[in-house]
Amino acid sequence: MTLTPKKSERSAMKKSQNSERWHRWLPRVAATVGAVTMVAACGEGDDTPRRDTTSSASYRLMPAQGCEDVRDDVVDSLTEQVLQNRYSQHWWGDVDFDAGEPEPGAPEAGDDSAGGDRGESPSEFTETNVQEEGVDEPDIVKTDGDYIYTVADGSLQILKSWPPEDTDRVGRFDFPEQAYPHSLFLKGDRVAVFSYVWQHNDYYYDEVGSEDGVEPGEDREPSEPGEYVEPFYGTRLTILDVSDRTNPVIEKQVDIEGNYTNGRMIDDKVYVVSNGGMRNINIWQYMYNDEIPGLPERDYETTLEELEVMRDEARPLVKAFLTEQLADEDVQSWFPRQRILDHDGAVLLEEPLYECNEIYMTDNANQLGVLSISSFDLDTKTSIDSTGLLANGWQVYASQDNLYVAMSSRWWWWWGGNGRQNESHIHKFALHSDGQPEYRASGKVDGWLLNQFSFSEYEGHLRVATTDNRWDWDQETGEQTDAGGNHVIVVKEENGELVETGSVRNLAPTERIYSSRMMGDRGYIVTFRETDPLYTLDLSDPNDPKVLGELKITGFSSYLHPLSDDYLLAIGRDGDENGVMSGVHLQVFDVSDMTDPKLKHHHVISTGGWSSDSEAMWNHHAFTYQARLGVLSVPMNIWDGGEQFTGLMLFEIDAEEEAEDAGITEIGRVSHGDLVADSHCVRYDMEPGCQQEDYWGWYSQMRRSIIMSSENGEEFVYSLSDVGMKVNNVYNTDEELASVLLRERF
């Protein structure tokens, strides 16, 4: 059907068209926006409370019996959301908005004459730094040694990487403007690329130009009004055959509606987790609806106890209103869609991602939305299988056997009532090589999660590290008291529930977790407020985990990397005894005696207040450690007094070195300032070298690095920034072997 828009609609559409100019920035904040706009639904049910927020048994998911079952669940969720919004004291509390962030001697370099003996392929190369062995994680770059595959400049770019001096781009696949590629998996001759899809609703207009009397940006009548296109926001999965590296070819393209959360790959099986709101339900029209009759009135002097009574009085009224409003709605239209695309991106088939009887529901308080877990085989052309939950989950962890998706209550839950309840809901899915993930169990733990390293599975038990910084509020005295702490809680699956078997609780009650790492029967927790306690834990008995030791130092560690059973390498931020922060620091901890952990080596990148930063502090994929060489490479930004640097820094790590602070030595730096200058020249159709490198060096953003070794003992570092790639000698970074500009589209 062809629609002719009204003038007001055209104005709105013009704004939509203008927004296309900055849509490439949207994916960077997609998760944040999604988390804020998908509103929570929590509390009880109606007269007979349906949503039990205290019984662990209520956290088990059950399959919906049909669409009416789903409708009832959505009505209950919306009812509680309306009640919590209308009858709560709307303070934000002491929210941590950054709680999800803040993870032998060097061989001689080969001489020039040895270049011909490097071998046909590298003898060794680093891969994506992952949490669990055998469980790959999506990232912006992958390599098989001979080639490097990266998503850059809105495209998949393939570089021949060996021999290092011949590194150059050999293939490129450009994605359409509505798709923003952000990560990939590599398996043999196939690459799976994940893209954010932001397809705005719009009409089609002829291009506006001054030659027809209308200046760009001005309103005008469309010469041929186009058909209205329904907006679509989600994840595009593109599988490409790269057997011919010079000509990547699409094998399959599928769009999954909802915000991309994370993914994993085990052998040939890929798992994708996405979150979305309920389609075609405008939550806000019910939140502030004045047409609900008989609701009790409140003001800013209403007490918590009075608000609780008002919620109980209003519950049947709100539920009756919402039941009537949603009675004729098509439940199936609330679910996310799946779109099958041809090689050019045209939609061949659009359908719901799953049916009503394929949805799992829970009786616990949870965020209103839909969580989708999709799976497919990378090496076959089979269809994508998906499972849906009427829930949300923003943290993803996977072992080789199970996948866990979790959601922390955070600050948008539990307004009013009996104080804040800080807890996290966890859903467990068994992973099978011959089918889609199988739902197994659900549960809850006290406290909030930091990131994927808050989890670890070992011998059938899941260990979870949480921060429970809830507080109690005395309305008579007006005083706030801390009532929580930091916990390590062990759970296991029993009859469809995740049941606690043991815990260590109330570590550092006034602090929060900044990093954790649990491996085998050992665990390490770093908390921080003014100083940085490193706790060592014995996790060998899931029924009785224990704290063995504690080390208090200044600053904090935001990512912990195991060097061996005896040593940890950490990156974080330095500070003083009062908690005043300075620059990035590296640390080596001696944990050979778990009852007495020691700081063995400490290296400070910069000393000024907040004077340096590194993506490796909060993203472990940016942390590259070559164990055989003992070489660490990390992106770094420094703005300390007169020193300014942005690029890659390389360090030699010798944990066994006995000399104090001699175990961490900087061995080189790589800047991409000249590539940024060249990129600027390309943008304005000027010759390379048209700009001074020193001026533009600050504008490069280093992202990743790969270390490759030759058969004759030479070591090379491949540095990837947002503008290009360079190849340098690890032990002489002034020796540049190759430089490739990757950003050419603006």
Which two tokens mark 678? Answer: 């060249």
Q: Are 405 and 273 in contact (CB under 8 A)?
A: yes
549 CB neighbour count, 10 Å cutoff: 16
What pLDDT is attached to residue 115?
47
The values of phi and psi at residue 682, to 5°, are: -65, -40
Give whole-number Cα distances, 744 to 153, 157, 682, in Å.
7, 12, 7
DSSP string covering 14-80, please? HHHHHHGGGGGGGGGGHHHHHHHHS-EE-S--SSS----SS-GGGG-EEE-SSHHHHHHHHHHHHHH
* Structural domain count, the chain: 1
pLDDT of residue 89: 63
Per-residue pLDDT band for 476 (boundaries 50, 70, 90) equals low
CB 526 within 8 A of CB 557: yes
Helix axes 67-86, 304-326, angle to 10 degrees: 150
88 in a structural domain? yes
Q: State whether residue 578 is helix, strand or coil.
A: coil
Distance CA 249, CA 599 (A): 51
45 is a domain residue? yes
Q: Is the pLDDT of residue 215 over 80?
A: no
Whole-number Å distance between alpha carbons of 276 and 37: 10
The answer to the question of residue 216 being in a domain is no
pLDDT of 594: 98
Mark 649-688 as b/e (b = at least 16 C-beta within 10 Å).
bbbbbbbebeeeeebbbebbbbbbbbbbbbbbbbeeeeee
How far is Cα 370 from Cα 277, in angstroms, rounded to an integer?
A: 6
* pLDDT of res. 90: 54
Least confident of 205-209, 283-287, 402-406, 507-511: 205-209
User: 745, exposed or middle or buried, with CB in 10 Å at 0-12, 13-18, 19+?
Assistant: exposed
Instruction: Considering only the C-alpha atoms of the chain, give the largest distance between any 2 of them, rounded to a whole number of Å.
Output: 89
Residues 6+ apart with CB under 8 A from 638: 583, 605, 606, 611, 612, 644, 645, 646
Using pLDDT thresholds of 50, 70 and 90, give the confidence band for residue 280: confident
Q: What is the DSSP string of 716-744?
A: EEEEEESSEEEEEETTEEEEEEEEEE---
Does residue 394 carry a pLDDT above 60? Answer: yes
378 touches 239 (CB < 8 A): yes
For residue 568, tell me if it sits in a domain.
Answer: no
pLDDT confidence of 706, banded at 50, 70, 90? very high
pLDDT at 379: 80
pTM of this structure: 0.83
Top mean pLDDT of 173-177, 377-381, 534-538 is at: 534-538
681 φ/ψ angles, rounded to the nearest 5 degrees: -65, -40
For 569-592, what is the mean pLDDT? 92
In a domain, 59, yes or no: yes
Residue 271 inside a domain? The answer is no
Residue 471's pLDDT band (boundaries 50, 70, 90)? low
Q: What percent of the chain lies above the pLDDT cut of 70?
A: 77
For residue 591, the model assigns a pLDDT of 98
Handedness of CA 347, 393, 443, 416 (dihedral sign): negative
The chain-wide mean pLDDT, for the chain, equals 81
pLDDT, tens only, 628-686: 999 999 999 998 877 789 999 999 999 999 887 789 999 999 999 888 887 777 766 66
The residue behind tokens 């300075």 is: 582
Q: Assess if residue 302 is contained within a domain.
A: yes
Give the residue from 705, 743, 737 showing the smallest Cα distance to 724. Answer: 743
- Express each pLDDT in 281-324 by its tens digit: 877 777 777 788 889 888 878 888 888 899 899 999 999 999 99
Per-residue tokens: 701 = 């953003």
Range 314-336 average pLDDT: 92
Worst-scoring range by mean pLDDT, 77-86, 113-122, 148-157, 347-356?
113-122
Query: Comparing C-alpha atoms, which of 109, 118, 111 is closest to residue 167?
Result: 118
pLDDT band at 410, cuts 50/70/90? low
Domain that holds residue 299: 30-95+282-329
Q: Beta strand pairing status for 359-362 and 385-389?
A: parallel
Residue 228 has a pLDDT of 53
CA distance 303 to 92: 17
Lowest pLDDT segment from 228-232, 531-535, 595-599:
228-232
Q: Does 155 fall in a domain? A: no
